[in-house]
Amino acid sequence: NAGVTQTPKFQVLKTGQSMTLQCAQDMNHEYMSWYRQDPGMGLRLIHYSVGAGITDQGEVPNGYNVSRSTTEDFPLRLLSAAPSQTSVYFCASNLRSGTGLAGANVLTFGAGSRLTVL
Amino acid sequence: GQNIDQPTEMTATEGAIVQINCTYQTSGFNGLFWYQQHAGEAPTFLSYNVLDGLEEKGRFSSFLSRSKGYSYLLLKELQMKDSASYLCAVSSNTDKLIFGTGTRLQVFP
């Protein structure tokens, strides 16, 4: 049982390059989300998904795209990387959304991906 | 909108008790969560509160007052391994989990 798996762990990009951060979970969780973490800013929600085929924007969505073609996978795409996107990115999943049961909102996080844009 | 406030840094001595406060303003409320994050690692879940009152889990307890928009995390019998950041997060009625900036706790011998 791997939980939430993120790849790559480290990546260096040049401004304007594109890349995809991969995220996969094997817990059959409906809800998946992407956060970025910057010093002094805490964790900020980028995009989230409440189920396969459904995605929505979080607090800081600009510059990022997501898709959810399967329950297991939730990749985050940077179309044209900028230095402001240098950050640590965390993917997370939880059991179910919309139930009104707070326990279903307990997040399991991946190990994180450290991205540097030069 | 949503706003979550917690102190930036705290220090305490091994064996002592420390209380980390969190105040919040949200549109709708579906639970308050506490996560622990050691440097260079992912956050891990500690506790959550949905109703007012105290939830106890071993050395850690969390309290919630919904009318005051206030929570605290209480850590007893502090150990060196408790040195970490503690993140307060609130789930709104849209099920998005929004985090505060975190409190960095340093435990000294």
> Are B42 and A35 an interchain contact pair (Cβ–Cβ within 8 Å)?
no
| Interval A19-28 mean pLDDT | 96
| Nearest-neighbour CA in chain A from B86: distance (Å) | 11
Q: Does A44 contact B45 at a Cβ distance shorter than 8 Å?
A: no
pLDDT at B1 over 60: yes
A42–B102 CB contact, under 8 Å: yes
| Whether residue B56 has pLDDT greater than 90 | yes
3-class secondary-structure state, position B80: helix
pLDDT at B23 over 80: yes
Average pLDDT over residues A45-57: 93
What is the mean predicted confidence (pLDDT) over B48-71?
94
Percent of chain B with pLDDT over 90: 82
CB pairs under 8 A between A and B: 59
Q: Looking at beta carbons, which residues of chain A come within 8 Å of B89?
A: 43
pLDDT band at residue A97 under the 50/70/90 scheme: low
Which among B31, B44, B99 has CB closest to A105?
A: B31
Calpha distance B71→B60 (Å, rounded): 13
Is B45 in contact with B35 (CB distance < 8 Å)? yes
In this predicted structure, what is the pLDDT of residue A102? Answer: 57
Q: Which residues of chain A are at the B interface, by a Cβ-Cβ cutoff of 8 Å?
A: 31, 33, 35, 40-45, 48, 50, 58-59, 90, 97-98, 100, 102-103, 105-112
* pLDDT score of A5 more than 90: yes
- The mean pLDDT of chain A is 92
* Neighboring chain B residues of A58 at a CB cutoff of 8 Å: 96
Tell me: pLDDT of A6 over 90: yes
| pLDDT of the residue at A103 | 64
CA distance A79 to A65: 8
Find residue B36's DSSP bridge partners.
B44, B86
Taking residues A88-96, report their average pLDDT.
91
What gap in Å lies between CA A103 and CA B69, rounded to an integer? Answer: 19
pLDDT above 70: residue B100: yes
Give mean pLDDT, residues B89-103: 85
Average pLDDT over residues A47-57: 93
- Indicate yes or no: CB of B30 within 8 angstroms of CB of A45: no
Q: What residues in chain B have their Cβ under 8 A from chain A's Cβ atoms?
A: 30-31, 33, 35, 41-45, 48, 50, 87, 89, 91, 95-102
Q: What is the mean pLDDT of the segment spanning A54-66?
A: 95
Query: Which of A14-28, B23-37, B55-69 shows the lowest mean pLDDT across its residues?
Result: B23-37
The pLDDT score that the predictor gives to residue B101 is: 94
- Cα separation, A16 vs A81, in Å, equals 5
